Amino acid sequence: MKQETVQIYCVNEQAITIQATAPVSLEQQQRMWALGASFQARDGITEIVPGMNNLTLAFDESLVDGDALMHELQQGWNNITVCAQSGRLVEIPVRYGGEWGPDLADIAAHTGLNVDEIIRIHSEAEYTVFFIGFQPGFAYLGGMPAELTTPRRSSPRQTVPAGSVAIGGAQTGVYPKTSPGGWQILGHTDVVLFDPSREDPSLWMPGDRVKFVVAEVAHAE
């Protein structure tokens, strides 16, 4: 068995993080999810929060001993087996280009790809929800093809509409809520990513696979 090194540290009296020290990879991320899942039913664990190649557990210190938990995380990391779990497949219909994707031309200019190629590459790839943060329901997706990498806009927009599908550096994502933002917008989805009245408010969960499906393409003249 591989014994990659990890760092385990306290965030505060009620939270411990385990961080893989090797470069970010899907395999390590899968181990973090599996490790988190193994604490799901445990009394006194109040939050299980995956990050980027790390996992944070929050706990009630009257029920859980922090030092024992650190030890358990190390043991768990050494012994966890990742089943070939692949998460659910979440399909996100996207209207690309035109008023839905005002930055598509900029992405084309930067990547040297034409608009059709960008849409094809973006919608053919399969992504994985690495973790959720920044905003309720905002997924950090792994798996964007490197040729789509486009730097953030030099000046962020005051208002990016909810449902905007965008590229920021080497990542792609969807804005769950209208907010300021600097990512390059290539399309829009009507899917509601976060609805607090749903039993699981977030549409997707860490480990889910994601496909962007072309619903419509608006071509510039």
Partner 1 sequence: MPNSKLLEIIQAGPLVTVQDLDRHGSRHQGVSRAGALDDLSLRIANRLVGNADDAAGLEMFFGNTRIRFLKEIWFALAGCECFATLNGKPVYLGWTKRARAGDELFINMPRNGLCAYLALDGGIDVAALMGSRSTDVQGGFGGWQGRKLQTGDLLPVGKKNRKQLKTRGVLLPILNQEVRVLAGPEAEQFAPSVQDAFFSHGWKITADSNRMGFRLEGDTLIRRESGDLLSHGVFPGTIQVPPNGQPIILAAEAQATGGYPRIASVIQPDLWKLGQLRPGAFVHFRKVDRAEAAIAKQQQQRYLERIALALSIEN
For partner 1, the binding residues (CB under 8 A) are: 9-15, 17, 19, 24, 36, 46-54, 56, 58, 61, 66, 131-138, 140, 176-177, 194, 196-197, 200-202, 205-206
Instruction: Quote the least distance from Cβ 30 to partner 1, whole Å.
Output: 15
Report phi then psi at 209, rounded to 5.
Answer: -95, 150
Instruction: Quote the least distance from Cβ 94 to partner 1, whole Å.
Output: 21
Q: CA torsion sign, 144 to 122 to 141 to 157?
A: positive
Instruction: Quote the least distance from Cβ 67 to partner 1, whole Å.
Output: 9
Nearer to partner 1, 99 or 200 (CB): 200
Instruction: Quote the least distance from Cβ 135 to partner 1, whole Å.
Output: 6
User: Strand locations in 70-109, DSSP E?
Assistant: 89-97
Cβ density class 96-112: b for 16+ within 10 Å, e for less: bbeebbbbbebbbeebe
Nearer to partner 1, 194 or 212 (CB): 194
Residue whose tokens read 């769950």: 176
Instruction: Quote the least distance from Cβ 101 to partner 1, whole Å.
Output: 24
Nearer to partner 1, 96 or 138 (CB): 138
Task: Write the CB contacts of 164 (distance below 8 Å, at least 6 apart in sequence).
Answer: 174, 175, 181, 183, 185, 187, 188
Nearer to partner 1, 67 or 99 (CB): 67
Nearer to partner 1, 46 or 75 (CB): 46
CA–chain centroid gap for 151, Å, is 18
50: exposed, middle or buried (Cβ count in 10 Å: 0-12, 13-18, 19+):
buried
Nearer to partner 1, 32 or 118 (CB): 32
Instruction: Quote the least distance from Cβ 66 to partner 1, whole Å.
Output: 8
Instruction: Quote the least distance from Cβ 177 to partner 1, whole Å.
Output: 7
Kindly give the pairing relationship between strand 171-174 and strand 45-50: unpaired
Nearer to partner 1, 136 or 151 (CB): 136
| CA-based nearest residue to 21, from 56, 48, 54 | 54
Count Cα neighbours of 36 within 13 Å in the Cβ-side half-sphere.
27
